[in-house]
Amino acid sequence: MKMRGSRQQVQRRASKVNTCNGFVLLEIIIALGLFAAVAVSLVKALHMTSKTAVMIQDSMRVDRVLRSAMTEALANPYLKEGAEKVNITELTGDDRSFFSGEIETIIEPIELENEDGQLLQNMYRIAVVFYWRGGDGEWQSQSAETWRYGSLYRP
């Protein structure tokens, strides 16, 4: 087998090939590092998205419980002044309920005046407070309130 060129030229060509192989290896290592950084960022973003989705779902459950309790309190034709606490498992009849806590309904008379300064009779403030243990074990609460004319639903 005959080689073209001198021995020095052949060695220079061989060293260029070895240098190119070193650059290819370096490029592969850099590409793997970038891919790993992007993959970690994507996993973090997905984790934060799932945590946000769980928080929104919990908030919607709390709103649903409050809305249900408020609807029940408003539908009562005979309002009676006072406060009443009910365990949520008694309402749902389900021990596996997502929330374990209490719903407090507070009904109290209020004095309101119309635009002419006349006192409105038989007006009540209805407040519903939901107490529950959050995912971290801490007690949390959220409330809703409204006003109602006492004789609104009487037959």
Q: Per-residue pLDDT tens for 37-71? A: 999 999 999 999 999 999 899 889 889 889 988 99
Domain assignment of residue 132, yes or no = yes
Q: What is the pLDDT of residue 135?
A: 73
Distance CA 149, CA 109 (A): 10
Paired residues of 131 in beta bridges = 102, 141
**pLDDT beneath 70: ranges in the chain:** 1-21, 91-99, 155
Domain assignment of residue 127, yes or no = yes
Domain assignment of residue 155, yes or no = no
- Residues 106/133, Cβ–Cβ less than 8 Å: no
Residues contacting 131, CB < 8 A, separation 6+: 101, 102, 103, 104, 139, 140, 141
* Antiparallel, parallel or unpaired: β 123-133 and 112-113: unpaired
Paired residues of 105 in beta bridges = 84, 128
Domain assignment of residue 154, yes or no = no
Where does residue 102 rank: exposed (0-12), middle (13-18), buried (19+ CB within 10 A)?
middle
Distance CA 73, CA 70 (A): 5
Domain assignment of residue 129, yes or no = yes
Domain assignment of residue 138, yes or no = yes
Domain assignment of residue 60, yes or no = yes
Domain that holds residue 63: 7-149
Q: What is the pLDDT of residue 127?
A: 96
Domain assignment of residue 2, yes or no = no
Distance CA 99, CA 70 (A): 17
- Residues 100/63, Cβ–Cβ less than 8 Å: no
How many residues in total does the chain contain? 155
Q: What is the pLDDT of residue 15?
A: 60
pTM attached to this predicted model: 0.66
- Residues 92/100, Cβ–Cβ less than 8 Å: no
Both tokens assigned to 1:
């087998």
Total domains in the chain come to 1
Q: What is the pLDDT of residue 101?
A: 85
